[in-house]
Structure 1
Amino acid sequence: MSSIQKSTPKSSAVALDDINSMIISKPTRRTVPDAEPRQVTTRAKSGSKRRKTSEPDIDLFDIEKRLHDVLTEEFSRLKVHHEKRIAEYEETLTRIRSAAAAKDKTITNLEKDKQDLEAQLLHSEMGIHEAAMNATDEAKVCAARAILQDRIEMAQEAMDSSFDRATWEVASWEMEQKNLGGDEELEQAAVDAGEAGTSGVPTTEGCW
């Protein structure tokens, strides 16, 4: 009993000291020696490395210059081609315009000729109508002359007591006078003719 009581404080003091020392002291981290990094190589990477080392260096400036030269050459070729086509189109357009102008001129000339022919036709129609009117008037004048001359002859014959009046063609004479419009028209035709002599006796000169 006495031995247990004496030993307990000592053992408890040791235990407390150990706990305090554990609390105060920082736990030490166990260091593990660094392992060598594992080198992982693949075929693709090794192959790419081999390709990079085998391919020549690419000059971007040279590539750009070549591309510029190619594009410039192609543009020049297209420009020449299109300029040639444009010149051909302009030449064709000029020919078409010239042909159209010639056609317009021809149409204008034809229209003028048509108008001239229409004017000539109208003038001819008027001339024919006037000639027909003159011919009709002249025929009337000639007939009037003949009838008036027959009247004069009949008057002279009537004064001759030995003349046979049965030979007079009175019916035909009256018919002709009626066709001429009667005595007034007959006298007017004779006056319009202006062919009567100073003696007032009409002549048939110039008639049928």
Structure 2
Amino acid sequence: MNTYLFYVFVCVAKSSKSSSKFGVSDIQDIVSPRSIKKELAACQSIPEGKGMSTRAKAGNKRKKPPEPTGDLPLIEQQLHEFVSEKFVEIQILQCQHLADAEECILDLQTIAAAKDKRIAHLEKENKVLKKQVLLAGITANKERLEIIDDTKNSAAIVTLKIRLQMAKEAADPSFDRAEWDVASWKQRCTSSGTMRMLQRC
């Protein structure tokens, strides 16, 4: 209670015009219930000093963020222009790269088509050459068989001629078989090439 009276006294002293005019009668006015209520209401309306409390009141609102300055819209506009410009540059580069890629693909397709055409032409020529080689082999084999047949016929004819001549000599009544030179006849057959041709055939 004494502390409360002292607090009221201080509040009255602050609200009074001059502290020198404060007297005993004023203390009596303070002690009265009516004056206590008035002074208590007056003290509650006085703002607290910095040293009164170190903690913030629960009802205090948070500080509002600083309002944007006038330069912020300009910065946003510059940033938007920069981003738009870079986006246009990227689109141009992308279109250029796509055009180069399409041109490269077209060149590769042209080269591939020419290569396929060349391969088809070479395959056609290869087939023609194979056919020519096959026909040439057949012709050569046919000619070889004809030559062999001619050689056999020639050898047979020569052999028959020799035998016919030998038979004529043997049929001659004046021919002495004991004096017949067989080695000479073999030499004649060998020199004529009849036996050699017969061996090859």
Query: Taking structure 1 as the reference length, what is the TM-score of the superposition?
Result: 0.49
Out of 143, 146, 160, the residue aligned to residue 148 of structure 1 is 160
Structure 1 residues 68-107: aligned runs within 5 Å: 68-107=80-119
The residue identity in structure 2 corresponding to 1:57 is G
Q: 2:38 — aligned with what?
A: 31
Larger displacement relative to structure 2 (66-75 or 94-103): 66-75
Confirm whether residue 57 of structure 1 aligns to residue 64 of structure 2.
no
Confirm whether residue 116 of structure 1 aligns to residue 123 of structure 2.
no
The residue identity in structure 1 corresponding to 2:47 is P
Secondary structure of the structure 1 residue equivalent to 2:38: coil
The residue identity in structure 2 corresponding to 1:146 is V
The residue identity in structure 2 corresponding to 1:37 is P
Q: 1:191 — aligned with what?
A: none
The residue identity in structure 2 corresponding to 1:31 is K
**Shift in CA distance, 76/39, structure 1 to aligned 2, threshold 3 Å:** farther
Structure 1 runs of 4+ off > 6 angstroms?
172-175
Distance, in Å, in 1 between the alignment partners of 2:123 and 2:109 is 21
Larger displacement relative to structure 2 (136-145 or 147-156): 147-156
After superposition, the C-alpha distances for 1:86-115 in whole angstroms (9 at most, x for unaligned) are 111111121122222222222333333333
Deviation at 1:160, TM superposition (A): 5.3
Distance, in Å, in 1 between the alignment partners of 2:171 and 2:91 is 118
CA contact (8 A) 1:140 1:180 kept: yes
Distance, in Å, in 2 between the alignment partners of 1:56 and 1:157 is 148
Query: Taking structure 2 as the reference length, what is the TM-score of the superposition?
Result: 0.51
Q: 5+ residue gaps in structure 1? A: 1-26, 41-50, 182-208
Secondary structure of the structure 2 residue equivalent to 1:87: helix
After superposition, the C-alpha distances for 1:52-93 in whole angstroms (9 at most, x for unaligned) are 8xx963574x65554443333222211111101111111112
Distance, in Å, in 2 between the alignment partners of 1:173 and 1:59 is 130
Deviation at 1:139, TM superposition (A): 0.3
Structure 1 residues 38-49: aligned runs within 5 Å: none
**Shift in CA distance, 164/84, structure 1 to aligned 2, threshold 3 Å:** farther
CA contact (8 A) 1:147 1:173 kept: no
Structure 1 residues 133-144: aligned runs within 5 Å: 133-144=145-156
Q: 5+ residue gaps in structure 2? A: 1-32, 51-65
Higher relative contact order (CA 8 A, sep 6+): 1
The residue identity in structure 2 corresponding to 1:84 is Q
Identical-pair percentage? 28
Secondary structure of the structure 1 residue equivalent to 2:83: helix
The residue identity in structure 1 corresponding to 2:37 is R
**Shift in CA distance, 164/98, structure 1 to aligned 2, threshold 3 Å:** farther
Distance, in Å, in 1 between the alignment partners of 2:143 and 2:86 is 84
